[in-house]
Amino acid sequence: MEYRNLFLGFFRIGVLGYGGGPTMIPLVHAEAVQKYGWLTDEEFTDVLAMGNALPGPIATKMAGYIGFKVKGTAGAFIAILAMVIPVLAAMILLLGLIYQLKDSGIVGGMTHGVQPVIGVMMAVLAYQFFVKSWQTWAKSRTISWTVIALIALVLLNVNPGLLIGVALAYAFIESTYLVKRRKKQQVETDRGYSA
């Protein structure tokens, strides 16, 4: 049953994900978190961050990870295949038609009409991440990282990949420190009970 759900979920994403990887992210969230519950919001955020930090298309990396988490290697294969089949079929079947209609005003209008929808979907997902971060993380850190990201991306024109790498390094260092501190406190607590 899970293999079928993996195939159907990622096939729908492949069919509806007009415009490539970044436009598929809200669809992956809808299928993997909201519909099937394969990931929590926090796990999805982590997968998205790691997927953005690695080279290659984000949608197939996320499909591979989620498929592997749900059903191992076979699940990863099914999820990636389901994501790629619609795109590959559309490219093969419609390539000639696209070249004939590429200068058509109708096709151009359709492309321009879809762009705002994609923008709104990405904005809603970003807002949901911000709210979740605000609720689960220190509010001062959420504000600090938001300001740092805006300054780096808008004013300093820093590459988003570099910013993601810095954020991942910070998160790794902080989480490692917190784990070590908790272990140290646990050891001290255990010593207190045994004394």
pLDDT digits (tens, 9 = 90+) for 25-66: 888 888 899 889 999 888 888 888 888 777 778 888 889 999
Structure confidence by residue, pLDDT tens digits, 88-143: 887 787 777 767 776 777 767 776 777 787 778 778 877 877 777 777 666 777 78
Angle, vertex CA 14, rays to CA 10 and CA 16, nearest 5: 110
Q: What is the largest CA-CA distance in the chain?
A: 83
Q: By the 8 A CB rule, do 26 and 122 touch?
A: yes
